[in-house]
Every structure is written in structure tokens, then in C-alpha cells.
Structure 1
């Protein structure tokens, strides 16, 4: 094999290896709100959610009730629409029926391994009109090399919860309100994890 042929073969092997191990940014993998200005600073301080357009309905023949609202996270300026149906949302003799969390969109959280997504979980007790919201979100607005994750929970009684009830259905709503939360966990992520970096893509 000539020197020229050997050189060409080495170059081809190096190019193939580079293509296999390349890391490419894929914006579809980056969590929304991660680079919002002051995301990190606001998340480190006492912050709040804003609950908007809250509506509750229960067809009395149904074992489950429906709850929906828009949730604004003031740390990253991200709004999530929550629409859920669950048996735990039905009043049961004045007692809290369940301590289980319900996903904001009633869907199982399915992620590809290298993705980070904003996850929202909800508890609602119809008897006490208490709404608990938990969200996981991410920030790397200061330096993408040092991303941070946060878990935050709000726990509030819904004020001015107004209902119209018939023999078959109950429909309720409430005006918009702020829900203060406490960050119960802050955790560091691998470098550049939120930039949509996807190992193995070429």
C-alpha cells in the first residue's frame, strides 16, 4: 500500500470516528425558559407561581373530576396549561381523598435520555379547596456551562372559589391569584446539559 493510500485511509478513519462521537446542539431538547434572563437569580430567591383561568367541573355520575388552569412560573416566565381528570379531585366526606400527584396534562412523563423537560404535578382537594402545585424547572442563563435544576412547591387555598351546581354537574371557577412557593431542592447538572446537546448525533 502506497504512502498516499495509507494517508487517505487514516484520514477516512479519523473522519468516521469524529462523525460517530460528534455532539450536536438540538434546540428541541432544551427545556423552555432555561435561558430566560434572571432565571437563576429569581429561582434562588423566594418566588411564586401565577394561577390563571382556573376551572373545575364534576359530572356527579363520574368517579373523576376535571381541573384545568394556566400556571405561570415567575422565575423563567414560562406558562404551562394544566388539564387533568382524576378521582382524587372529587370531594369525599370532607377528607383528602389522595396524596398522589397528578401530572399537569394527565400524561406519563416520557423523556429521551438526554432531554430535560419542565415537569408539573398537581394535587387538589375539593373539600378544602386546597391546591398544591409542584414544578421542576431549569436555568443556565448566567453560564451555560453550569446549569441548575430546581424543584418548587406551592400550597394554597383557592380564594373566591365559586360554583354552580345542578343535580348532575358542578362547575366552579376562581379569579387569578398568586401562589408563593418554596424551592425545596436545587441541584447542579452536567456542563452544558441544557443546551440541547445530543451525544451521537452527526
Structure 2
């Protein structure tokens, strides 16, 4: 049977939340506690007197909006405990300490809190620390960065350091904010094709393509015509795209580019929005700029094969690149640190496994009959955000001892890095009752890919479908009469832990 070196998750918790799983607020306390356990430190001040040195700051828990004002007596270069409202933290849910060395302050936070937005109280504990430079005033040092983000590591209910997004290309490139004052682009690999046609023997045709690079961020977009409702390409609205389709990596903000080309004048116009937080990640901005350039293209013409009255004009730019100077349109401030915040999503592998664990079954089949029969089915963890993952095939493997259990033979996974299926399992099937019991172990890497959380549990369900049989190659094959039949089964006795 499966290994079990896990902590026990109360089955009643999963059962309580299970019926409430659909349609939950994915930006509530529970979701944010798993994905962004962190704090803001604001208005940090250090009074560096020769005696009785002290510090103060405000703390905001980003997951549950808990706030506190803290004061700290600072002695020497070591860690100094902070208090709120004159009371120590001995019996409180939050502990904070500060360390001041020269013009640098480090803050350490350890907090336990509870979330009740999923119909059950779930306790979280996280710890984190960060440092900030201090600027000296006439009588007090103040933090250069405010708010200061302190990213946390979860200690419970699971041990994980949630990953953040990488953000859009070049957002933290040194000089990004300064260069936005004088925006420019480089244009390369330009091709414009203009073909005449009478609509009968030949079709009139235009095409255009170029690469647009923003040297401020290093972002490169390929621009080409889109498709109109008449299924004819229009150069008035070009489609420009780069790496923004990797949305799970980029985060909530994506670089956007709108462009057009006038075939009569060779005029190219671009409007682009990008992001900068190189000076202060707590003060990110969205930069929007526009620019227009008449492209110095060189054209040649040739006859259209099969239509001698028509011509195809091909225009290119021979040199390496064209410089396009732009005009700054706007600089829009964004919420602190939001560029690298993960995108709020429906429950993924970890949260689903903790709060409403279910397997989704499909493609059930019985091959053979009697003692020689073999069971197979498709399987995937039921989550709110499967992405491009699809159920995996599970076949009947070797018998487990003298019991009625069989090991799972799990099909190829296509190299999926964040699988939603078991890495080990066994099952048994009772033909008389159509009861399928699965004992499975799976791993969740959606919060912390380097430190997967291991789960195991048992599900029992009935294949509640009419089975129809046919003989193929001399072997009986039975499957649901509805080829799309699928069902879910709650997972009980869930245990979890880390490697």
C-alpha cells in the first residue's frame, strides 16, 4: 500500500467545505493566505538617540487586512522585540522584531491568523523578513521605501514559500522609469507586399510584417495584419504580440501594443503600454507612449504568375533597423508591488486538496470477463483551474498481494510540470455493486514548485452508468453507454506533508 508519512487533515473540514467549493471568492482571506502570505510595513521611523533609541512602524497583513501600530526599544545591533499599544506579544497572534545597523533596518514578522470565508475556520502561520534603507533627517531616520513588502513563508497549514510572478518583460530593468520620459522603439525585418488583382483570375492581396523592439524594456513584438469580418487582412489594425501569452509567469499586467500601417504613405503608427518599477517596487507605473514614422522602404515589382496584367510589389528595408522616437502619453500609478503579484485564480492543486479534495473519473472500461477482467479509467484532480491539463489514463497493473486491490499503471503525462494526477495509486472494483475504490498519492507544486506538498487519501464511488458490452478481437469490452460519462468522488482521510 501507499506510504503515509503525513499530517492528518480532518475529514470533517473537507466535508464541510466540499458543498461550498463552486463559485467561491478566489481573492478572499483563504486564497490570499495561501498565495500571498505577506505584510506591508509603513511609516517606519527610527529615533537613533544615544540612549533610549526606538523605532515605530505600521503593519498590514495582506491576506486578512489585520493592522497594528508597533513600537520597539532598540538596543545595540541585535534583534529587538516590538510591542503594540504598550503590551508585549507573548500571548498575541503576531510577533515582530527590528534590527538597525547603520542606515539599514531589518524587520522580522511571525503571525498566526484564521480565515473563515470558506465556511470553516482555517489557521495560518507565516514568517518573513525584509530590509530597507534609512534616510537621515534632522532628528529621525525614515524608511526610503514605504510601504515595504515583507514576503512570508507559510509554516502551517502547509509548509511552502509561494512563488510570485516574474512580471512583464523589463519592468525592473535599471533605467526603465527614466527612459519612459523619452520613449523610442526600433523597427526591423520590415516586409510589405501589395498585389493587384481583378478578383477573378487573381486576388488583390496585401500583407505586412515587422518586429518592434522597445529598448527600454527589451520587449519585442511581432506585428502583422489581423483578420476582418470579411476574412480579408486589414493593415489599418495590426496585431502585435510577444511573450504576453505566458500569463501564468507574467502576472496580472501584460504589455499591450496597438499599431497600424498606411500602405499609401508607408506611415507606421504605434501605441504601447509597458510597466516600470525599477526605482521602487512599491511604486510601480504603467507607461503609455505613441509614435509615428514613415518607413523608408525600397520596393520592387514582379508579374503575378498566371495573371500577367497584375503585379506584386514587395517593399523591404535593407538596413538593420529603423529608429522610431515616441511621445509620452501617460504614467499611471499602480497598487504597491502589484506587478509581481500572482493573478487571482480559482482553487488550484493545493487548496483543492486541502479544502475540497475530489477525483474526476471518466472513460471507464472493463476489458475481459471474470477473473481475467481488467479495469481502466481516466483520472484528474478536480480543481477550479486545470489550465491545459487533461485526465490521465490509469490501467490495471499487478495484484497487491492476495487482496482484491491492483496497482495503478499510470499512462504518459506529456511532460506536464504541475500534474493533477497521482504519482502512485492502487484500486479495487466490485462488479456486483459497481463500486470503485481508489487509494492514491499525489503532489502539489502550484504554490512552491521546489518544495511540493505530498497528499494521499482514499475515494470510494459507484460507477452509476449503464454498461454496454461488445466483443473486439475476441475480448469483451464494457463501457458506459454514454461515451462522455464522468463522475467525481470525494477523497477522504486525506493526509499531507512535505518531502
- After TM superposition, is the score higher than 0.5? yes
Max Rg structure: 2
Are 2:123 and 1:14 aligned?
yes
User: Structure 2, unaligned stretches of length 5 or more?
Assistant: 1-12, 14-112, 115-120, 126-155, 197-201, 228-232, 305-311, 349-446, 448-499
Question: More helix per residue: 1 or 2?
Answer: 1
With normalisation by structure 1, the TM-score equals: 0.72
Q: Is structure 2 residue 258 aligned with structure 1 residue 115?
A: no
Partner residue in 1 for 2:217: 76
1:178 aligns with 2:323: yes
CA drift at 1:158: 0.8
Partner residue, 1:52? 188
CA RMSD across the alignment: 3.4
**Structure 2 residue aligned with 1:198:** 343
| Contact 1:58/1:170, CA 8 A, preserved across alignment | yes
Separation in 2, partners of 1:73, 1:179 = 10
Question: How many Å separate the matches in 2 of 1:38 and 1:53?
Answer: 27
Instruction: Provide the aligned length of Structure 1 versus Structure 2.
Output: 177
SS in 2 for 1:194: helix
Q: Quickly say closer, same or farther: Cα 1:129–1:189, change in 2 above 3 A.
A: same
Question: Could you say if the C-alpha distance between residues 129 and 23 of structure 1 is closer, same or farther in structure 2, counting changes exceeding 3 Å?
Answer: farther
Counterpart secondary structure, 1:128: coil
Output the CA distance in 2 between the equivalents of 1:155 and 1:23: 46
Q: Distance in 1 between matches of 2:274 and 2:342?
A: 17
Greater relative CO, 1 or 2 (CA 8 Å, sep 6+): 1
1:25-54 alpha-carbon deviations (Å, 9 max, x no partner): 4335x11111111101111x2231111111
Residues in 1 aligned to 2:238 and 2:246: alpha-carbon distance in whole angstroms: 15
Structure holding more strand per residue: 2
TM-score, normalised to structure 2's length?
A: 0.32
Give the drift of 1:85: 4.8
Q: 1:64 touches 1:88 (CA, 8 Å); kept in 2?
A: no
- Alignment check: 8 A CA contact 2:224 2:238 kept: no
What SS does structure 1 have at the residue aligned with 2:171? coil
